[in-house]
A = this chain, B = another copy of it.
Amino acid sequence: MAMSMYQASIPQFVKMLTNLSNILKKGEAFAKEKNIDGAVLVNDRLAPDMFPLSKQVQIACDQVKNGMARLAGIEPPKFDDHESTFEQLQERVAKTIAFAKTITPAQLEDSETKEIKFSIKEWSFEFVGDQYLLTWIIPNFYFHITTAYNILRHNGVEVGKSDYLGG
């Protein structure tokens, strides 16, 4: 007995993206309540050379969309990185959840031994499937969800650990 690649990924990613959506809702409500333009929060960052909230959400989504598509051996949908409002970020998260839900356990069968190759700018990466999930997709996914949470929390939005972990 052990865990399948599907079990170790899709259900928890869908849950965390749903939690992210709820955290973003709290951010949007906070901005409305304080009469702040939501874009102030969407464009905020923890350091001048870090990505803003919008990009944190985009990358968290793309870890799931592109990463799981690679493991499933299918073409991921293309999403433009145009989001500049809470409403648009919600759409991005919703589209990503919808795509993740189309991936089946059968598509991920034996993906733990699949050879994964990709490049980002000038860097090339090579992984075996299970290492790609465990040492790339998962740590990156949680990094960007947590950083999105931290940006809002740092701005005073009342989110807590239970919003992050979900019910």
Contact = CB atoms under 8 A, between A and B. Distances in A.
A136 B87 CA distance: 29
Given A2-B112, A3-B134, A139-B142, 4 more contacts: A1-B110, A12-B139, A46-B154, A143-B164
Nearest to A135: B12
Interface string A120-162: 0000000000100011101110110011011001101000010
A85 to B, nearest CB: 24
Contacts of A113: 1
A165 interface: yes
A64 interface: no
A138 B154 CA distance: 23
A61 B160 CA distance: 20
Nearest to A144: B146
Say how many copies of this protein the assembly contains.
2
A134 B8 contact: yes
A139 B164 contact: yes
A138 B147 contact: no
Interface of A: 1-5, 7-8, 12, 15-16, 46-47, 50, 110, 112-113, 130, 134-136, 138-140, 142-143, 146-147, 149-150, 153-154, 156, 161, 164-165
Nearest to A47: B153
B139 A16 contact: yes
